[in-house]
Amino acid sequence: MHLTFYGAAREVTGSMHLITTKTDRILLDCGMFQGHRKETVQKNNVLPFDPKIIRNIVLSHAHIDHSGRIPMLTNKNFQGQVICTRATADACKYLLLDSAHIQEFDANYLNYKILRSTLRELKTTRKGKNISTHTDKSIQKILKTDGKKLNINKINELMKKYHLEYVEPLYSTSAAEQSLGFFNGFPYKSPVTIGHDATCTFYDAGHILGSALSMIKIRENGRLYNICYTGDIGRFGSPIIQNPTLTFPEEDRAVDLLIMESTYGNRLHEPVQDQKKQLKDIMLATFERKGTVIIPSFAFGRTQEILYVIHELYDEGAVPHVPVYVDSPLSTQLTKVYGEHPEMYDKETHKTFLKHGKNPFMFDQLHFIRSVEESMELMREETPHIVIASAGMCEAGRVLHHLRNKIHNPKHTVLIVGYMAKNTLGRRILEQGREYEKSGRRGDPPMLKFLNKLYPLKAHVEIIGGFSAHADSSELMHFVTNSNLKIKKIAVVHGEEDQALTFAKHLEDKGFTAFVPRAGDMEYV
């Protein structure tokens, strides 16, 4: 029996690992690569195996970097099941459809740009002069309806006419809808058959609602093997959901191979208990400037945690009760999923909210923005408020338009509350904003390019590490050293190379056998 590491090997996104036995191939996650567009398109479009050879998929949780390529498998002769927790199955109903919509939108927009460029070249005079504004507007009129929406039918027609290479989405909405029929959700601590003489038992990973540590037991050649896949490990003491599991039953304690994440393998977060005070101080400072707090946030997990803490601050009277807007239809749907699974909440959430008949994620000042028109109207709002908008890494979504309208004004604040992958706009805002703040905001502000324009980063950039849904280095080590697992060796994955290598060294210093695989590496168990 062996395991092949296909994704999230010396990088964070694209989680995918394959267990191969004499009779089965079990896939652990099927995630999407995220980051620089050109690089990720190349990675995401290639599956390193024929989907029909996969017996089943074990899905650790619903985040797209772990689930996002499942429709590619289910649309290409995959005959098994996607085995996960019930909350993960419920969340994927929304996350995968949203992912498909993004794939289709991006493909349509790229086709529009390719065609527009071609038409402009055809209209250029022989003398090499630029086309006139009138001609440019006439091209726009052909390719767009009402001057705004892409005329997809016309674009497709002209792409064929001029024999242009057509950009296809990674998968369609219909493919995502089809994939949902393959999901089968199960409760924690309930063994599930995943192959011949193979079972999986889920334990709470404490990362997001429904996230799981997957304990996989496989009998081969008369011997029982245990493989534990952490997926993403959450923080200890975070609000809403339970802490990562540390106590396992006797039959699951001996682990031949632990496949462990290392997103923050060499970094420490602020204490969880500090996040409320930090958020309070940032809100007060921004509202004193009559500004808006813009929070780019992942729709599932981070948004709900921020709402929870704001709700606490409002109930305590610690900050002005300004309006709070969730400008993301996906976040709205996923907040409902959180509301439908109170059985997964921790004791503190029951004590603070449920005991008093309150929904942790609903309060009087909260508004969910649904239509584009409402979102555009909100972008023009000048009175102090809070906007929580997707996407979390600022690569797409409505948050880009809020940034476009506010990032040039020093009275506003961009609040970073989660991990920003390399080559994303979120990472550039984080790094350049931090440097500008360290300089005392002297000199010219950094210039950021997005939505095809340059914008000066004059807004304040603040960071709250305590909101991270990933365990930091000390918490990862706490899981390994304070759980009752007996671990033979550890594969360190899901971390940028420097983080993974450093954490592997920390593990070795503690007496563990650890290694950091590269993409395509194989490990025998």
Give the DSSP H or E segment for 227.
strand 223-229
Domain count, the chain: 2
pLDDT tier, 248 (very low <50, low <70, confident <90, very high otherwise): very high
Q: Residue 125 has what pLDDT?
A: 56
Q: Residue 211 has what pLDDT?
A: 98
Examine the fold and report which residue of 423, 441, 467 is the final residue of a domain before the chain moves on: 467
Is 172 among the domain residues?
no
Same domain for 495 and 350, yes or no, is no
CATH of the domain at 398: 3.40.50.10890
The string of pLDDT tens digits covering residues 475-513 is 999 999 999 999 999 999 999 999 999 999 999 999 999
Is 104 among the domain residues?
no
Tell me the C-alpha distance between 230 and 321, whole Å: 39
454-to-226, 295, 387, 403 alpha-carbon distances in Å: 52, 20, 22, 12
Question: Which segment of 125-129, 196-200, 414-418 scores lowest on mean pLDDT?
Answer: 125-129
Global pTM reads 0.90
The string of pLDDT tens digits covering residues 277-288 is 999 999 999 999
Q: Residue 298 has what pLDDT?
A: 87
Same domain for 426 and 300, yes or no, is yes
Tell me the C-alpha distance between 279 and 296, whole Å: 14
338-to-70, 97, 311 alpha-carbon distances in Å: 22, 18, 15
Same domain for 458 and 502, yes or no, is no
pLDDT tier, 39 (very low <50, low <70, confident <90, very high otherwise): confident
Q: Give me the domain span that covers residue 495.
A: 2-91+184-268+469-524
Same domain for 461 and 480, yes or no, is no
pLDDT tier, 73 (very low <50, low <70, confident <90, very high otherwise): very high
The rounded percent of the chain whose pLDDT value lies above 70 is: 99
Tell me the C-alpha distance between 114 and 121, whole Å: 11
Same domain for 285 and 262, yes or no, is no
Is 18 among the domain residues?
yes
CATH of the domain at 479: 3.60.15.10
Q: Residue 128 has what pLDDT?
A: 60
Which two structure tokens, joined as six digits, stand for 297?
A: 């946030």
Same domain for 364 and 488, yes or no, is no
- Per-residue pLDDT, averaged over 189-209, amounts to 97
Distance linking the first and last C-alpha atoms of the chain: 6
